[in-house]
Amino acid sequence: MHYRAIIFDFDGTLADTLEHTRCIYNQLAPDYGLRQVECHELETLRDFSLSELLKHLDISKFRVPSLLKRGTALLRERIAEIPIIPGIAAVLPTLRGRCETFGILTSNATENVNLFLDTHGLRDHFTFVSSTSKLTGKAKHLKAIRKTFSLHASEMLYVGDEIRDVKASQKAGIAVAAVTWGFNSRDALHASDPTHIIDHPEHLLELRRS
């Protein structure tokens, strides 16, 4: 059986925002007394969980909301330049046809996501776009989505590219497909024990719920 509801993360899952995010972080870093991140560091950083990443970059958790707010505002200025993940647009119509609820849950701003979807002609595929202002707030929102659409936890799938997406799904009691083309590495995602690991967008079409 297919999942009745598929919810996607945005950054790194649908949109290839990694390099833009690095550049925006480097733009903001001096204001917070933080060091910049070089391109060659990204492969190492991909193995880190969120808490490990913040510790490695010496970012206080109290600074995260401000960085996130300013970063999403700067990202809005770059939306037209951000590429879609290769191959993802081709599978979305088929996936949408298999489920009743098709949404996005992100820690980015809904305005950014809607602008991106409009740019790529994808907005009509999605039932909703929802945002959480906290990097670790997705579990609560996933539970709320389940109640809103009268779903059983076993009927839902979250698709994301980070360890925190896996942990949020597990906390919410729903299945999670960890995609390896985003921020966290395949090894790091595998260690977090997701329901599925996806190496290419086409492989999303093969998913079935048990």
User: Which amino acids are annotated catalytic?
Assistant: 9
Strands (E), 127-185: 128-131, 156-160, 175-179
> What residues does 87 pair with on adjacent strands?
none
Q: Which two tokens stand for residue 137?
A: 């707030």
Concatenated DSSP letters for 92-129? HHHHHHH-SEEEEEESS-HHHHHHHHHHTT-GGG-SEE
Distances (CA, A) of 187 to 46, 136, 138: 9, 21, 22
